[in-house]
Each structure stands twice: as C-alpha cells, then as structure tokens.
Structure 1
Amino acid sequence: MSVPVREHHGGRLHEAARRWGIPVSDWLDLSTGISPWSWPVPVLPTSVWQRLPDEDDGLEALCRHWLAVPGEAGCLPVPGSQAALQLLPRLRTTCRVGVPLPGYREHALAWQREGHEVVPLSVEQIDAALPDLDVLVCINPNNPTGHLYPTDTLLHWHQQLTAKGGWLVVDEAFLDASDGESLVSRCDQPGLIVLRSLGKFFGLAGLRAGVMVGPTAVCEALADQLGPWALSHPARWVMAQAVQDRGWQQLQRQRLRQARQRLNELLSKAGLFPQGDSDLFALCVHDEAEAIRDGLARQGILVRHFQQPAALRFGLPGNEREEQRLLLALQTLPV
C-alpha cells in the first residue's frame, strides 16, 4: 500500500520567509484559522513541570461540564484533535469512508493510510453516497469553506449510518466561533463521535490539546492507542483553566464576530467576495487566487491558497494596523 503524501497546511511561515526573502519578523501571517487573541496563560506552578500528568486530575469532569457531555458518553482529553483523527481509523476494520471535498485533508489521509477506501464527497453528493458508506466524516463548520451543516441533516445521516453499525465523525474544531450547534449532547447514541479543539477558538494551537466525545468503548480504545501521558501536564493544567473561563469565552465570541465582520467589509472593498459561517476565517473564490496569493506574499502577507476551487482563505487580522496593511496590499493587486 502506498503511503499518502503529507499535506501542507497554513502557518508555514519559515518556509515562506525563505521563498520570498522576507524575514519572519516582517510577515503578517493570515494563513491559519487560529484566533489572533489567545486565552491568557498564567505562570504555571513549578509542580506542573516536575510531575508526570495524572489522568485522575479532574480534567475529564471539567471537559464534560464545558461541553455538556451526556453521562453515558465517553469523554477523552487528547493531544489535539489531530491525534484523535489520526488514530480513529485504526479502530475499524477496512471499510468505505466518506470525507468532505473540499475539506481538511488530514481526515482523508488518516483513513487512507490505514487501508480504508476513501470517497471524497461534496455536500451535495453525500445523500446519494450514504447507502454505500460505513463512516462519514463531516467538518462543522467546514475548513476551508466555512459551511455549516444543519443539525437535522447530520442527525439524519447519523441515523442511517448507525442502522448498519457505521460511524458519523464530526470535527467541530471551529464550532466555538460560529452559530453552529454542537452534537456533543447527542453522543450518548452509538456511532456518533465528535472532535473538539482548544487550538482555534482559544488561540492555543501550540498547546496541542483537544477532546474526543463518543461511545465509551471507542474512547477507551483510542486511549489505548495513545498510550500513557499522551497529553502533557502543562497542557492538561492550561486546558483545565481555559475551559472554566466562561467570561473570557463570551468576550472571545464577541471579539471574533466583530473582527470577521470587519474582514468581510475589507475583502469586499478590495473586490473579493468572502463566504463561510466561521468567525475565524473567510474563503474567497477567485480565478486569480494564486496570483493574488503571490502578490500578497511579495508584500509580506501570508494567506492560504486552494486549487479546487481556486480560492484564498484569510485568517483574522489582530488589530486595525494589520487590517489596513492587508487592505492596502490588496489594492495594489488586480483583484
């Protein structure tokens, strides 16, 4: 079996600096969907660095409260939702898996790597393909399009899959910064697995922390795959504080919504047409997307380019100065 080629993602700032001959410190990096405002991490107690992580530290209970996880469902803190999505394919025998197209490519790569048959599907193709699928992966809201799936639609797909022992895997990494409804409260049902992340909304991508919610047996099997101490003690400590900080989370939602509205206005003024329901990024479909990406890069602004369809994904500028820098740079290009 051939091994899939590793996908390139946003945030490859050092590579961009080398390619365009611009020092890392001079870039405005808008290539990811990570919040420019992070939860304020305090100084960690020395004991957090000195002792191994303890799975009986109360973190699971805090995550259950944060996400309103049903008592019958499993809840597993993981070293980033990436770790969970990479290992989930090991927990099923070879099967047929639907993945979103376009969508975060690591899902397809993970299932393909474990020998499963991967079927890329647009939103419009899912209903017709579902009878022949054992697993369906949905990203809600989608990365990079920002598309939100209606809850009733997801539950309908889940019902069809579980009737034949299948899974619906919902990646909610960007859900906190949207008007979408989480399916975590339904995870007491068989075959429903939800992935959550602290990387995007909390602006803590470097922490590598997340949660998987789903059937208890699946969570236990994934924990076995991860092995002991998978989530570092500092990550567990910071995660425990962040998920309890409801006041900051409310402020963050308001701040991200306002920043996305300003980004929409800026892109529209520049002749681009932003779309998507995530407050962390905007997708702009454009025939000259690659040329625009290169034109911005020459001015030290990094955005994410997609080929199918030709599009650019813009993360949020962190202040008015960065917004003006982006607008002025776009105005120099034939958009």
Structure 2
Amino acid sequence: MARFGGAPGDWLDLSTGINPRPYPLPAFQGSDWAALPSAAALDALEETARAAYGCPGAAVALAGAQAAIQLVPWLRPPGRARVLAPTYNEHAAALRAAGWEVSEVSSLSDLAGADLAVVVNPNNPDGRAFAPDDLLALRRAVGLLVVDESFADPTPEISLGRWVDGGTEDLLLLRSFGKFYGLAGLRLGFALCGADMANRLRERAGPWSVNGPALRAGQAALADRAWEAETTARLLRDAGRLDRLAEAAGWRGVGGTALFRTYETGGAQAAQDRLAAAHIWSRIFPYSPSWIRLGLPGDAAGWARLEAALAGR
C-alpha cells in the first residue's frame, strides 16, 4: 500500500493458500468466550478430528499447524535433520533454533539416514505430492518422519492418517484447519501421532492450547462432510480456472494444490508489480527469480479483477 496506494479494503490478497470462502461459523455460547476451554470440549474435537482424518491414533489439537512445527524439534534430542526443499521455511527454522543440524535436500531419497526428516505433502509452493507407499518406504530409512499435510484436505488419498495408530513413534503428521476451512484466525491445527508422542506434545503445549471458539467451530466444521465435499469440488474447479487465466497471460504452470497455484513467469518481481498496480497481492520467493504463487479469488468481482490485471486491462 505504501508503494502502490489504496486502503486495505481496496486490495485483493492472493498471497495466501487460504480458502477465500470460509466455513460458516456456528452459533457460539457465552461460555465459549467467558470460560476456560473444557477438557470435554477438547476431547470431543479431537475425536471428531480423528474421524475426519481417518486416523486410528491420537489427534492432538494445537493453536495451528505452526504451533506443532514449533514443538517438533523438542520431541527428540537434537541430531541430523533433513528437509525436502524448497518448501515452507518454518520447518528448517524451528529445527535450527532448537539446535538441530539441518540440511535442505531436493529429492525424497536424499532424506534417508536422517534422525528426523520433513516432507510437506502436497508441497508448498510447487505442489509436489508423494504417494503413501513412497513415504512409507522412507519411514523405514529415517528416525522420525514428519509429514506436513496442511494442504491435503482436498486430496485425502495421499494422507498417511490411516497408518498412524496408538503405538506409532516414528511417524508424525501435521494438519492445518484454517487453510481448507478458511478460518486461519481461529488458530487451530492437529498433530496425528501415537499415544506416547501425543502425551509429550500435550505436555509441551501446556493447558488450554486451543481457545473455546476454535473448539466449537472446529468440531462443527470437521463433522460437516457435505460442506467438505462441496468445497473440494469448488476449489478444484477454481484451481483449473486460475490455471487457464495464467496460461492465457503467458505463464507456465509449475504446480500447486486446490488452494494455490504456482507459475513460471519469466520475471517474478515484474509480475508481482504488475498485479500490485491493480491492487492484487501475490507471493514471490527469494530462491526463484521467476516463480509467483496465487491463491484463489473468492467471488465474481475478484475473478474479474484478476482476469483484467493478467490481460493488462
């Protein structure tokens, strides 16, 4: 805004991978705001999450997937960690801050031999996705495999949730609630793991790690399978629509998920500036001079603005 002008309401923010049409909030009770979150409400949410994610093991509710990322380095003594990159940079940052020796590698096979390995599946920002069999094979070659499934909601077939049971100690899955359900401000996410690891995570997180409104909204949303199916279909359609607009503008698709798309532009800074001149914000990356990432517009007006900007109108 300082450079291109406008007020916050004038801008279309496509820099995130958050569903622009959020889940409709349930009716809250006064106790959701006035009382400390109850153990019963937390248990109910976690049971609903286990069912939604198809996980026989534990689902530990936390204040967003980021909270889980911050706790992962403390589950084991620091050693050699490898992160499949390029990806969400907070994984490597959290591990380094806790004293881990971190290497960022470019292929799944390069993760073998690590005391702790991190894979984002599907990956942010290029959308690389790995089949469960490939990740299960990797699981046998590392000490602890951490799979961040924050963008997996529209593609549940790639999730490792069904392989996590009460005795699992070498596999940890991270799930974001706010991205698919469009309620990032609630700060809710889950760690799917075995019982012992769940206990260690809860001890680290401390009491009342999830607020009352998030407990109620999360349980309602995760139990609403009809909304999930309708939203998945819409997001997939909209992702295809975004690809067609970008291709018409001369950009080449790199990949992405149903919540964001990444394109080869030939010049990322120039492409971002072009959109920003129309008060549309996007995401570019320090490791690529040509990639740009776009989220999805949420309404007809947003689509029209993006189409006009990409067409140079």
Give the equivalent residue in structure 1 for 2:69.
85
Aligned partner letter, 1:256: L
Q: What runs of 5+ residues in structure 2 fail to find an aligned partner? A: none
CA distance in 2, matches of 1:118, 1:198: 27
Is the contact made by 1:103 and 1:143 (CA closer than 8 Å) also made in structure 2?
Answer: yes
Per the TM alignment, residue 284 of structure 1 is displaced from its structure 2 partner at its CA by: 0.5
SS in 2 for 1:127: helix
Is the contact made by 2:250 and 2:265 (CA closer than 8 Å) also made in structure 1?
Answer: no
Per the TM alignment, residue 28 of structure 1 is displaced from its structure 2 partner at its CA by: 0.8
Q: Aligned runs of 1:85-124 on 2, under 5 Å? A: 85-123=69-107
Task: Tell me the alpha carbon deviations over residues 194-239 of structure 1, each in whole angstroms, 9 at most, x when there is no partner.
Answer: 0111111111111100111112111111111111111001111111
Is the contact made by 1:148 and 1:180 (CA closer than 8 Å) also made in structure 2?
Answer: no
Aligned partner letter, 2:164: C
Per the TM alignment, residue 331 of structure 1 is displaced from its structure 2 partner at its CA by: 2.2
Match of 2:122 among 133, 141, 157: 141
Q: Aligned runs of 1:1-335 on 2, under 5 Å? A: 17-57=1-41, 58-70=44-56, 73-123=57-107, 126-131=108-113, 133-161=114-142, 166-178=143-155, 180-188=157-165, 189-310=168-289, 311-332=291-312
Q: How high is the TM-score relative to the length of structure 1?
A: 0.88
CA distance in 2, matches of 1:279, 1:38: 15
Is the contact made by 2:260 and 2:296 (CA closer than 8 Å) also made in structure 1?
Answer: yes
CA distance in 1, matches of 2:130, 2:191: 19
Aligned structure 1 segments of 4 or more residues deviating by more than 6 angstroms = none
Per the TM alignment, residue 275 of structure 1 is displaced from its structure 2 partner at its CA by: 3.1
CA distance in 2, matches of 1:127, 1:251: 36
Is the contact made by 1:75 and 1:216 (CA closer than 8 Å) also made in structure 2?
Answer: no
Per the TM alignment, residue 80 of structure 1 is displaced from its structure 2 partner at its CA by: 0.5
Per the TM alignment, residue 129 of structure 1 is displaced from its structure 2 partner at its CA by: 4.5
Is the contact made by 1:177 and 1:253 (CA closer than 8 Å) also made in structure 2?
Answer: yes
RMSD, aligned CA: 1.5
Is the contact made by 2:20 and 2:298 (CA closer than 8 Å) also made in structure 1?
Answer: yes
Aligned partner letter, 1:328: A
CA distance in 1, matches of 2:195, 2:61: 13
Per the TM alignment, residue 252 of structure 1 is displaced from its structure 2 partner at its CA by: 0.4
Q: What runs of 5+ residues in structure 1 fail to find an aligned partner? A: 1-16
CA distance in 2, matches of 1:41, 1:128: 43
Aligned partner letter, 2:45: L
| Sequence identity (%) | 38
Per the TM alignment, residue 145 of structure 1 is displaced from its structure 2 partner at its CA by: 0.7
Q: How high is the TM-score relative to the length of structure 2?
A: 0.94
Is the contact made by 1:141 and 1:180 (CA closer than 8 Å) also made in structure 2?
Answer: no
Farther-moved stretch of structure 1 (296-305 vs 321-330): 321-330
CA distance in 1, matches of 2:94, 2:4: 32
Per the TM alignment, residue 148 of structure 1 is displaced from its structure 2 partner at its CA by: 0.6
SS in 1 for 2:179: coil
Is the contact made by 1:148 and 1:277 (CA closer than 8 Å) also made in structure 2?
Answer: no
Per the TM alignment, residue 128 of structure 1 is displaced from its structure 2 partner at its CA by: 3.6
Is the contact made by 2:82 and 2:116 (CA closer than 8 Å) also made in structure 1?
Answer: yes
